[in-house]
Amino acid sequence: MLHIHTKVFTNWAPQPSRTFKAGHLAYTGQCFFNDDVSETINKVTSTPSATHTAACATGMTDSTSSTTPMWHYDPVVKLEKLGVIIDQGLVGFITMGINASAAYDLV
């Protein structure tokens, strides 16, 4: 299943090395894409997923994506084509609510 890992930091500062000094970790999570989008992208040979032989989890069999609706939010990225066909590109949208006062340990 195609997904993006996310970490949200508060009180961070940019560094000269083009990295950042982390403050508080307020959120760790994942965003997912619909299975049909994952399948289409996995057919492109330039993606790492297109060349491995391991079975991929679908949205309904993935332990994280299948339980997140129970947590009262939708972790699926909404996509729009930038042209008529998917090869012309996509833009994705997702809304995340973050508790900025939360502070979790970095793992």
Q: Nearest to residue 78, comparing CAs of 103, 102, 95, 65?
A: 95
So what's the pLDDT on residue 107? 64
Q: Nearest to residue 33, comparing CAs of 69, 70, 3?
A: 3
Does any domain span residue 71? Answer: yes
Does any domain span residue 69? Answer: yes
Does any domain span residue 28? Answer: yes
Does this model's pTM top 0.75? My answer is: no
* Predicted confidence band of residue 1 (pLDDT cuts 50, 70, 90): confident
CB-CB contact of 50 with 42 (8 Å): yes
Domain region containing 59: 3-93
DSSP label of 46 = T
Does any domain span residue 33? Answer: yes
Does any domain span residue 82? Answer: yes
So what's the pLDDT on residue 44? 67
27-32 mean pLDDT: 88
Does any domain span residue 50? Answer: yes
Does any domain span residue 7? Answer: yes
pLDDT tens digits along 51-92 = 666 566 655 555 555 555 566 678 899 999 899 987 888 899
Domain count, the chain: 1
Does any domain span residue 9? Answer: yes
